[in-house]
Amino acid sequence: MRHKPLREQVIVVTGASSGIGLVTVRMAVERGARVVLAARSEDVLARVAAELGDRAVHVVADVGQREDVQAIADKAIAKFGGFDTWVNVAGLTVYGLLREIAYEDYQRLIQTNLWGTVNGSLVAVEHLRKRGGALINVGSIASDLAFPFQGLYATSKHAVKGFTDTLRMELIAGGAPVSVTLVKPASIDTPLPQRARNYMDREPTLPPPIYPPQEVADAILHAAVHPQRDIFVGGGGKFFVMGKEFAPGAYDELAPAIIALQKRSERPRNPQGALHAPREAGKERGDPPVYVMRTSAYTRATLHPLATTGIAVGLAATAALLLRRRAKRPY
């Protein structure tokens, strides 16, 4: 399946007020698309939409509410006549032991991360059945891995994977012209830790290696034109998933190290975070205390396998030619 070029597309992005969502809408407009931004933070959305000009429109929405998500679709239809790609990015996390997390925090995170994806997917697919297009859900390597002290987040992302895979199969069985992609980022340099509900006695962070959000946005926009079933963003994340599948017991034994890598040395800045109310929106990146990778060679290779193979073949041929010339050289 192949979709329209980006310059001919209308793209809906939830969670568009910060991090991956914000980077994605800006990159999409740079590449010629029109965008519909949706999130809870009205002031940030209005400012970003004004920055992007007449190619953007914003909708204030809580994706956990089905009627809010329907309003996003209605706005896209009213403004641009419809949409071609829908991207479910909205998500938050909670740091803490599962037994310590308050029930209302369980409810709120699942409402956003899982039900937000369910609502967005079902609304989007009803529109896309008629015209074709792409549904792109942002999961995580936590869709395949468990992370102590982010167990609730991992729970929600496991559920997102199960829902996305099932919906894809149903669309295939029904012959619908809709591609479904699950993007699974590793640790990404966004404000996610700063916006998290935090039960720990230290400021949270993400375990390395950490990658820039532009790598995720690029993968999302690639899938909007050239669909792929799953896309891992970050070779480090793919490595850990493969390792866990090969030796799950050994991965479990890494729990103490994984916990330590999620804690900074400083005290918590804002333990309440943005779980129940929008805060700290408007930023693309966070402030991790470790080095952030510039790119993900692994992800770029998976997005452009033919080009990567061609380069590899070319390098091999060049190396062989140089070795042959060297062998013929008199000594």
Angle between the 116-131 and 151-173 helix axes, to the nearest 10 degrees? Answer: 20
Rounded-to-integer distance, Cα 287 and Cα 292, Å: 10
Backbone angles phi and psi of 187, in degrees to 5: -65, 130
Hey, what are 242's tokens?
Answer: 């493969």
Q: Report the 10 Å Cβ neighbour count for 191.
A: 22
**Can you tell me the distance from the alpha carbon of 297 to that of 277, in angstroms, rounded to the nearest whole number?**
37
Token pair in block for residue 175: 């012959």
Q: Residues 199, 204, 210, CA angle at the centre, nearest 5°?
A: 145
What DSSP string describes 280-308? S-S-S----SS-B-S--HHHHHHHSHHHH
The catalytic site residues sit at 153
Tokens in use for 174? 């029904």
Category of 266 on φ-ψ map: left (φ > 0), alpha (ψ -120 to 50) or beta: beta
255, 148 in Cβ contact below 8 A? yes
Instruction: Say what angle helices 116-131 and 66-80 make with each other, to 10 degrees.
Output: 30
In angstroms, rounded to a whole number, what is the distance separating the alpha carbons of residues 98 and 127? 38
